[in-house]
Amino acid sequence: MHGDHRYDEPKKPYGLLGLLLVSLLVLAGVAYWKLSKPEVGPYGAIAMSDTSLTYGGAWGYTDPIAAYKRSIAECNKAAGAKDCVVKVSLKDNCGALAISVERNASFLVQGRDQVTATQTAMAQCQETGASDCAIHENICSSAS
């Protein structure tokens, strides 16, 4: 065969380079996911305004002070006031808030079980004879 000069080009290590690139991308993705996902903690709080019956909740915080501050900030934002205070502090447990506007009353209960806390808050409210009892907050805070 005249003029046909075939020769084998040296193989380039594209396979190894590709594998290295994919590995680096996977590691970068895992690092981003770990860094962007905040640590979940056992602390929470429910804050409330006695004048307006507005409330704010926070859960999953690693620091109890941060949970308190967030619940107060959420309450004050909703209330448009500055009289919100923490009514229930949570650590690896649940809190429920029932409110009756008719009676101008709130009922905050905490316990290990979300259903029981909610039922107890509702029962306490209904024991007053109020016809408008309703659960307004129902949260659990746990690091697990």
Tell me which residue range forms the domain holding 97.
Answer: 43-141
The answer to whether residue 7 scores a pLDDT higher than 70 is: no
129 assigned to some structural domain: yes
Contacts of 130 (CB under 8 A, 6+ apart): 100, 102, 103, 105
Does the pTM exceed 0.95? Answer: no
22 pLDDT band, cuts 50/70/90, is low
13 assigned to some structural domain: no
Which one, of 61, 116, 119, lies nearest residue 86 by Cα? Answer: 61
The answer to whether residue 25 scores a pLDDT higher than 60 is: yes
The answer to whether residue 72 scores a pLDDT higher than 60 is: yes
Q: What is the mean pLDDT of the chain?
A: 84
4 assigned to some structural domain: no
134 assigned to some structural domain: yes
Of 20 and 99, more confident:
99
Model pLDDT, residue 64: 96
Domain count, the chain: 1
Which one, of 101, 88, 87, lies nearest residue 53 by Cα? Answer: 101
pLDDT tens, position by position, 39-69: 789 999 999 998 888 999 999 999 999 999 9
109 assigned to some structural domain: yes
